[in-house]
Amino acid sequence: MSSRWVWTVAILVAMGGALPARAACVARPSSTAELAQCSTAAAAGDVAAARLLGEVMGDPTQRHFDPAAALSWWEQAAAGGDGLALRRLFDAHWYGRGTPRDHAKARAYLARAVATGAPWARLVRAVLAETEEPGVAAELYNGLAAEGNCLAQLRLAHGHDRGGWVEKNRSQALYWATVAGLAGRSEPRPDDHPLFESRFHYRDCSTEAYFLRGDLARNLAVDLRARVEETAAAWKPGKVPERQGPVDAPAAIGVSPAGLGAAAASRIPDWRPLPGTLQRPAGRSRLGAEEVFATVGRSVYVVVAARTEEELKARKGRFGSAVAMDERTVVTNCHVIDEMAVILLRQGNQTLRATPSGGDPATDRCQMTVSPGRLSAAPGIRAWDDLRVGETVYSIGSPKGLEATLGQGLISGLRQIKATRYVQTTAPISQGSSGGGLFDASGNLVGITTFHIRDADGLNFAIAAEDFFR
């Protein structure tokens, strides 16, 4: 505390005469006597008095303005558990008010305020985390949104509309915009912070939600929009919604998919055939094993899937494979990713988060999308009717997580079980190879390696690549 303020207190006490050992201080002091009372109370350990003294001495319009003394009183109040004092200390160090700007020290005060559950602090921490730690931002916004904080609900709506730090999902965006509009009409505006306001310039929640809902609703099918709005109307505090519709682009790595808690299982959207534009013509140039691998090996990725981020870190996940069909789409077997909330694709030093975009567990066909990042797609697709028993084929997958493992064999049969067509092959398929690629001697994708019959050498099966377009 500054020496100037020590002398000021001494003079005030002298002017005010003898004061009780624990004088009352219940409002911001304005008179000389009130200032003396608060000083005595703060010196005796009154937390509120210490914070109120900080308010007076941190105000440049007051004649007792003393920034160093204000920081000292706020420190004392914060140590006693005063949340507003923590906010004052954050502001002082973040904006450089009465002390040199120090963002590291400001973040330390912010962390203490977040630990107390202060809504303004959680909002600010989420804003800062959007680019630095998207998983933290999503967790904070979801927590606040579940409590009924319409600002966090709006932030999730905008996030799902644009994608990046959370998955791009217009249906999810409409859900949160609808909930925010309802909350904005029934609840007072939540406690926020200038750092949040200056970044997003939200008006009142109801107005902001109204215009956002209009933009989102125009881009959704009528039946889907009606279903989302009906679900949102039934929202109650404490509720985290399930995923509302198809994913346009997955979230950043480290962010749980929309509607899924840390321990929730992934819900695979309904099957949608791959677009015909991805069914590229088959090549006819015959290649050797080395050339086939060099040509198509980059299109096969390791899949690492786990129920939670903790399981992933503990290496308790599930391994599989996937084949890229274009820059953002991969196909795999549903049994590789079913009930998994965290799905990563790996190849060399590249790691991408993948999100299920369509699946039919009954036929074990699943698709996923990735973002950001670019995948190297399989060059051509071979029709099942064009295959011949006895042709040389190559399997590329990740058995036991061993990336880009090449196997060679023959097409030993062409089978159809119910509506699904299979390529039977002697090319090796084992645990971890599921979802990998089966290629012909020209490097065309002929199937997605799916299963093998145990205790029977060479009885391996791949779903026809063409079936992913049906």
Give the C-alpha separation, 302 to 364, whole Å: 18
Smallest CA-to-CA distance from 160 within 186, 187, 130 is with 130
Convert the pLDDT of each residue in 66-110 to its tens digit: 889 899 999 999 999 899 999 999 999 999 998 999 999 999 999
* pTM score above 0.85: no
Answer whether residue 366 shows pLDDT above 80: yes
Q: Which amino acid is at 323?
A: V
Q: Is the pLDDT of residue 164 over 70?
A: yes
Reported as type and span, the H/E element at residue 241 is none
Taking only the tens place, the pLDDT of each residue in 422-455 is 999 999 987 778 999 999 999 999 999 998 876 5
- Residue 97 DSSP label: S
- Report residue 467's pLDDT band, with 50, 70 and 90 as the boundaries: very high
pLDDT band (50, 70, 90) for residue 186? low
Supply the pLDDT for residue 252: 62
For residue 31, count other CB atoms closer than 10 A to its CB: 9
Number of Cβ within a 10 Å radius of residue 346: 16
DSSP 234: T
- Residue 113: name the closest of 137, 142, 74, 82 by CA: 82
Please list the helix, strand and coil fractions of the chain in percent, rounded to the nearest 5, in that order: 40, 20, 40
